[in-house]
Amino acid sequence: MAKRLPIVMIQSHPPHSSAEQLSDDIVGELIGSTGMDLMLVAPLASLSIDAIDRLTLESLQGDAVIMDWNSVETVMQSWRDLGLSGVRARHELDTRGDAGEAGQPCLYIIDLNVVTSCEQLMSVLEQIQAAGQVKTFTLGLTVDSGSSAGEPRARTGRVSTSEGVADARMGSSGRNGEDTKLVPIEAPISEVVTTKKCQGSQSSNSKNKLDLDALMDELDRADP
């Protein structure tokens, strides 16, 4: 499931009529957005200790976006005055933010005075949202079981962290071009090596037996 992004919009009074229209456009766009949860709260400096909006902010878990018509520094100071946790995180509209600290929620604070359009803001929010998603990847591995002549070299297939390894296979081939059987990737590499060595031992024992029989025949013919 995709991670949802909480967006807190502080209801400070916009500085002019065009800013007020931008606020309305932003709210309308976010209400119908996918994966973003919009919360409208009163100005941070006005929140009492038992205010519902303060309890809402205290219930936030993980990273969040905070938008206000005040500066980033003012919002961050008001946030700390409320005793709330989080570090100011860097994004496209706030390049002075930090990269983030382990164990601390990231606060992506946006000064709405620097936003030029609703489309620009949505693009920034989508970048923040994408950066917080957990991604899967495909892993390819190569394993050498030995470098001497006749030793098999095994290679794994593509292993997906999200789809499992049911269809992956591992094969081996000696330097003389002889192929051994395919075995599941779950099998240890020693199984492939053991299989190859057993085949070699059987061939060697058969050859020794033939040489011994030939020697006995020669001795019988030489005996007067």
Instruction: Report the C-alpha gap between 85 and 82 in whole angstroms.
Output: 9
* Sign of the torsion angle spanned by Cα atoms 36, 37, 42, 47: negative
Instruction: Report the C-alpha gap between 87 and 108 in whole angstroms.
Output: 9
pTM (2 d.p.) = 0.58
For 181-222, write each residue's pLDDT tens digit. Answer: 444 444 444 444 444 444 454 545 555 555 666 766 766 666
Q: Residues of the chain whose pLDDT is less than 70?
A: 1-2, 99-102, 133-213, 215-216, 218-224
Residue from 135, 161, 96 nearest 3 by CA: 135
Instruction: End-to-end CA distance of the chain: give it in Å, rounded.
Output: 91
| CA–CA distances in Å: residue 174 to residues 44, 128, 178 | 71, 51, 6
For 34-43, write each residue's pLDDT tens digit. Answer: 899 999 999 9
User: What domains are defined for the chain?
Assistant: 5-131 (3.40.1400), 138-222 (no CATH)
